[in-house]
Structure 1
Amino acid sequence: KMVDPTLAEMGKNLNEAMKMLEDNQKKAEEENEKKYMRKDIPGPLQGSGQDMVSILQLVQNLMHGEEEEETSPAYRLQNVGEQGHMALLGHSLAAYISVLDRERLRKLTTRILSDTTLWLCRLFRYENGSAYYHEDDREGLLKICRLVIHTRYEDYTVEGFNVLYARQPVIYISSAARTGLGQALCNQLGLPLSCMCRVPCNTMFGSQHQMDVALLDRLIKDDVESGKLPLLLVANAGTPGAGHTDKLGRLKELCEQHNMWLHVEGVNLATLALGYVSSSVLAATKCDSMTLTLGSWLGLPAVPAVTLYRHEDPSLSLAAGLTSSQPVEKLRALPLWLSLQYLGHDGIVERIKHASQLSQRLLENLKNLDFIKTSVEDELSSPVVVFKFFQEYSHRGM
């Protein structure tokens, strides 16, 4: 089949640009070296313009820094591979596609969005889900919070903060959650920090990195009695510090009991694509929303994070910013659409499986060292390795 000449030229230009940037051994001419080496001092915009080779040379010099110093180690740009080139090509294609006529653009973006959403929902066992694609991995949760506010406060669109003031919303997050998440949500939502409730982890029974479910239940009941509205719970399938998974099944029951939304995030969600999934992680498929960070899981540069969610009212999803009437907004999914097709279902599963196997091998080797103590919740299936160095053992062996 014939390929559109413009698309072929775009792919060719991208390959040439990447080849130039990845080839750190090329020596630039002395004049160019002198010209661009003072990278921290911005210069005037040249009136005559420059060709693409000169501009790419500037980019290369900025990335590699002042390597004329003998003490500086040689730096080589990481080779992103062909699957990475597909993701990068998606950004170039998005710019090209955005200038199509409105009807053709609408059809194309709808197909890209529906394909990608269908593939991801099937891969990660999330039935009847919708998807929101975003650059900042916290943005999906932020939009979910807005969706829940619109859902629980019927007059929010008209009354705004007045309805929130009358009955203060409460968002619950684990004390093991990533640093600054609660404050970031409150800042973006315009809520006081008193709307954020940090739930302690277990101290007596179970993992010390899992949310204390009994204590959470008491906190929710206390908030209800004081006239507040429990809104949303952020749970972990792989805490940032230790890779532990909250008791998602029990948390889901608690959220249903109090009419709360359950959002799940964490690296262990990647294992949902595998043939065998631990029951603790499999429970995440019943949550109301989850955020997937596919770029780091699959080694893909510049692809968006994805938040999968279930909600029946498209007007509220639109009001919360989870969907858009602008076709160009839907092109965020294009790099992922290209990359997923390039890898294929088997390739995606194999990458996640390989990463998990590498983690298991690392864990096995660490266990053989006297001065290393491992701390992993589910040693048979966890893709996370956590270990601690004991200095006293090290001294004994010296």
Structure 2
Amino acid sequence: MIYLVLKNFICILVLHSDHLCKPHRMQNVGEQGHMALLGHSLAAYISVLDRERLRKLTTRILSDTTLWLCRLFRYENGSAYFHEDDRDGLVKVCRLVINARYEEYASEGYAVLSSKQPVIYQSASGRPGLGQHLCSQLGLPLSSLCTVPCNTVFGSQHQMDVALLDKLIKEDKEAGKLPLLLIANAGTPGAGHTDKLGRLKDLCDQYSMWLHLEGVNLATLALGQATSAIMAANRSDSMTLTPGQWLGLPAVSAVTLYRHEDPALSLAAGLTSSQPVAKLRALPLWLSLQYLGHNGIVQKIKHATVLVEDELSSPVVLFKFSQEMSAASSGGSVEGYCAGEKEVLDTFNRWLGEQLLQLVPASGMDVVELEDEGTCVRFSPLLTAAVLGTQQGDVEDLVEKLSELVPVMSSTMCLRQDFREETHRHSPSLIYVEELSWPGLGAVRYEPQAEGIDESRRKQELEKINTELLKKLQELDTDIIFSTGPEFGTQENCIFVGMVTEDVDVSELVNTIATLGRDIEESGRLLENMTEVVRKGILEAELQLQKANEEKLMEEGVMRQLPLVGSVLNWFSPVQSSIKGRTFNLAAGTVLSAVGNFYKNNQILTLETRLNNQLSLSQLPSVCSGDKNYTY
């Protein structure tokens, strides 16, 4: 009951902590996830037990969890270290190896490392920043880190070059350094490739080096059948597992399994602790393993591997939209593409990954950046399927959406150059804008052809015309998406054209953009001219009105201008005014003589009435009839 209350309270805090934030979908936590979360609450309760009872309970939990994990992942006679940061296990292992290889390290400290500088080897396809983190935590210089290139001619481009590693180790030994530890991949962070673990272990034995493994493919050790490349992982000296990701268990710690015979060195390295509370880190995983059972764990991992149709291969699928694919889809060649094509292809692949994740959220598709291949779309169900609940139907939807998006991307890629050339034909009114980060047909800017205006006004007119042009394009009955471009793009006042199908007439599209822009510019110029004409006409009319007032004053005298006195005098002695009316012609922009009448509320008023009402000419458009000739 307390657990449910706490859960609901936390949900309310998450949902209402900031009403300005966008809504976030919370992870769908299954029953096994609830068990993991319950483990954290139980750990807090258990920690208040008396010391002896706590010691016995935590020792049992730690030993049982370690035994289950070693059996599940085929790592016999291993010990386990549970840690929150998945890099922390490797840091502790490195300290263990330093303590083992430098006998005086416990008493002399880092001073003993100066005689033989330790060297840690890692793959170029390894986790970014891992080596730097190790050196920082261990107090070692970056020169103690050696990055081994991957194969480029034979084998996978993401597998460590074993022959080159052998050469580097020999060179370091000749330089008086101590090869300490090798970090290998059982599933690289990007492509999911596995190093040649058997050969690497033989090389480590030859030079008395420690072999540490990490990677998503270690999960397949729990299956009844695993590849020979993965099976060699059980010969390693240590490996880091992340069962929380593989099994969909929230807030479950990572585990580093290792083999070492000296418990004192393990204690010195921090891999074991005499504090019972530290052993309670295993409790959430202990509860989850109890709940799932051996068959349940294997079934979850097997389900994830089956989603890629071949459970014996690497459970990671990479997809990349390329020039060859675009040319094959359109029946053309890869020649003739515009400059910066690699950046454009990377942009298209990022767009593809985002679209697939949006259309099929349960697929867990993501985008990875690889050194040689560039941007790729990755499907790695071992990392996401248990959390998102991915099913075979989601994979089928993914394939269907992929088959719909690829032809659109191909046609857009093939028409980009045509769009560029057609835009140049409408120069200088249309300017092609090179924006490599835009996944679409391209970007253009309409340039007004006005002359003799300053830069500030030209920018204002440029922004106004392109804003109106974008609005009109978005109102067209078409499937093409027009927008202002990337959120953090560098180009302003541009029209960005999105993906297009192969039946789009690029020439007609560009002509439509140019025509609409020209119409907007001309209508704006006409309005400016009319505004200027009206302004000058009103000024002239005001002068005529002032002159008429002066003439009336001279003709009728001052006394007749007084409201009460003037009415009496006009009654006894009416005056026939010789002042003629004026009319303002909007089309001609001129003030002409008229019959002396003024229209107001559909009534004809004499000039005297007009003057007595004191109506300003600035009110003419609002008080006159719809005719273009306003008479006063």
Scaled by the length of structure 1, what TM-score is found? 0.80
Take 1:175 and 1:268, find their aligned partners in 2: how far apart are those partners? Answer: 18
**Quick one: which of 159, 167, 180 aligns to 1:210?**
159
Structure 1 residue 13: Cα displacement: 1.6
Q: How does 1:235-314 map to 2 (within 5 A)?
A: 235-314=184-263
Structure 1 residue 79: Cα displacement: 2.3
Take 2:143 and 2:107, find their aligned partners in 1: how far apart are those partners? Answer: 24
Q: How does 1:335-354 map to 2 (within 5 A)?
A: 335-354=284-303
* Secondary structure of the corresponding residue to residue 225 of structure 2: coil
* Secondary structure of the corresponding residue to residue 211 of structure 1: coil
Moved more, 251-260 or 384-393: 384-393
- The equivalent of 1:167 in structure 2 is 116
Take 1:19 and 1:119, find their aligned partners in 2: how far apart are those partners? Answer: 33
CA contact (8 A) 2:226 2:312 kept: no
CA contact (8 A) 1:201 1:211 kept: yes
Structure 1 residue 267: Cα displacement: 0.2
Take 2:81 and 2:212, find their aligned partners in 1: how far apart are those partners? Answer: 14
Matched, 1:61 2:16: yes
1:240-263, CA deviations, whole angstroms, 9 ceiling, x for partnerless residues? Answer: 111100000000000000000000
Structure 1 residue 20: Cα displacement: 5.5
Matched, 1:158 2:114: no
- The equivalent of 2:64 in structure 1 is 115
Q: Which runs of 4+ in 1 moved over 3 A?
A: 19-22, 57-60
The amino acid of 1:225's aligned partner reads: E
- The equivalent of 2:171 in structure 1 is 222
Take 2:298 and 2:169, find their aligned partners in 1: how far apart are those partners? Answer: 39
- The equivalent of 2:7 in structure 1 is 18
Scaled by the length of structure 2, what TM-score is found? 0.51
* Secondary structure of the corresponding residue to residue 173 of structure 1: strand
Take 2:24 and 2:119, find their aligned partners in 1: how far apart are those partners? Answer: 48
1:44-81, CA deviations, whole angstroms, 9 ceiling, x for partnerless residues? Answer: xxxxxxxxxxxxx334312x7436xxxx5x54422211
Structure 1 residue 338: Cα displacement: 0.4
Q: How does 1:36-75 map to 2 (within 5 A)?
A: 57-62=12-17, 65-66=19-20, 72=22, 74-75=23-24
Give aligned-pair identity as a percent: 73
Structure 1 residue 380: Cα displacement: 4.0
Query: Where do 5+ consecutive residues of structure 2 fail to align?
Result: 330-409, 415-500, 503-632
Pair 1:148–1:65, CA change in 2 (3 A): farther
The amino acid of 2:15's aligned partner reads: Q
Take 2:225 and 2:3, find their aligned partners in 1: how far apart are those partners? Answer: 39
**Number of paired residues?**
330
After superposition, the CA RMSD in angstroms is: 1.5
CA contact (8 A) 2:183 2:212 kept: yes
Take 2:179 and 2:161, find their aligned partners in 1: how far apart are those partners? Answer: 17
The amino acid of 2:180's aligned partner reads: L
Pair 1:326–1:20, CA change in 2 (3 A): closer
* Secondary structure of the corresponding residue to residue 389 of structure 1: coil
The amino acid of 1:15's aligned partner reads: L
Take 2:130 and 2:5, find their aligned partners in 1: how far apart are those partners? Answer: 40
Matched, 1:389 2:343: no
Take 1:65 and 1:278, find their aligned partners in 2: how far apart are those partners? Answer: 50
Query: Where do 5+ consecutive residues of structure 1 fail to align?
Result: 1-11, 23-56, 362-378
Take 2:14 and 2:191, find their aligned partners in 1: how far apart are those partners? Answer: 38
CA contact (8 A) 1:21 1:77 kept: no
Take 1:250 and 1:93, find their aligned partners in 2: how far apart are those partners? Answer: 44
1:8-31, CA deviations, whole angstroms, 9 ceiling, x for partnerless residues? Answer: xxxx22123334555xxxxxxxxx
* Secondary structure of the corresponding residue to residue 211 of structure 2: strand
Take 1:81 and 1:275, find their aligned partners in 2: how far apart are those partners? Answer: 25
1:109-152, CA deviations, whole angstroms, 9 ceiling, x for partnerless residues? Answer: 00000000000000000000000000000000000000000000
Take 1:281 and 1:329, find their aligned partners in 2: how far apart are those partners? Answer: 31
Take 2:305 and 2:14, find their aligned partners in 1: how far apart are those partners? Answer: 36
1:327-356, CA deviations, whole angstroms, 9 ceiling, x for partnerless residues? Answer: 110000000000110111000000000011
